[in-house]
Amino acid sequence: MALEIVKYGHPVLREKGKRIDHVTADIRQLAADMIATMYAAEGVGLAAQQVGRPLMLTVIDVTPTELPWTISPKLPMPLVLLNPVLSHPQGEQIGSEGCLSVPEVNAPIRRAEQVTVRARTLDGKDIGFDCTGLLARAAQHEMDHLNGVLFIDRMDAATRASFAGKLKKMQKETEATLDKPRKSRRSLVRL
Ligand code: ZN
């Protein structure tokens, strides 16, 4: 089932994900729903924060794109990564990046060309792989989400400034949809 994607301005996007120590039925369902959500939104990756759950869980599938990437050893997509850790960044790539939580904002972002990813699968298996190109970019973008970091934080100052108005508007719109704690009328009763 496709879930609603949380938009910029929602505080959950700034939360660091909680480690997942036990794969429960809830986590399996969440992963399946995140994959459905990613495909429905035509994204190549999605982090749990983006569906309102601050957990160390991300899904990635870069196969629908024409941009180059590699993975070694070969693993089937979609990737479901629990508690991922990135290491051994090498080289550099600058490419246009967007985010399902920050619609209509695209900008060149500098990323490592290659990274090593270690993670646990839904089956409780520890996996590790080296990846390059778009997959390395996706892994870095999603790892950022899991740490409460957004791609706009990685824009150069001039680019970020050019989107300032749009971001502010989006933040206001999102905040308007959030349930704000209201002062209970009863608290005003004096007896
Ligand atoms: Zn994103």
Residues known to be catalytic: 142
Q: Give distance in angstroms: CA of 45 to centre of ligand 1.
A: 7
pLDDT-derived band at 191, boundaries 50, 70, 90: confident
N-term to C-term CA, the chain: 50
- Show the domains of the chain with their CATH numbers: 11-177 (3.90.45.10)
Residue 19 in 3-state DSSP?
Answer: coil
| Nearest-angstrom CA–CA distance, 34 and 17 | 15
pLDDT of residue 182: 56
Q: Give distance in angstroms: CA of 191 to centre of ligand 1.
A: 52
Q: What is the pLDDT of residues 62-90, one digit of tens each?
A: 999 999 999 999 999 999 999 999 999 99
Place of tokens 């979609």: 78
pTM to 2 decimals? 0.93
Supply the mean pLDDT for the chain. Answer: 95
pLDDT-derived band at 183, boundaries 50, 70, 90: low
Q: What is the pLDDT of residues 168-177, one digit of tens each?
A: 999 999 999 9
| Nearest-angstrom CA–CA distance, 45 and 62 | 8
- CB 47, CB 58: distance < 8 Å: yes
Q: Give distance in angstroms: CA of 103 to centre of ligand 1.
A: 10
% of residues, the chain, pLDDT over 70: 94
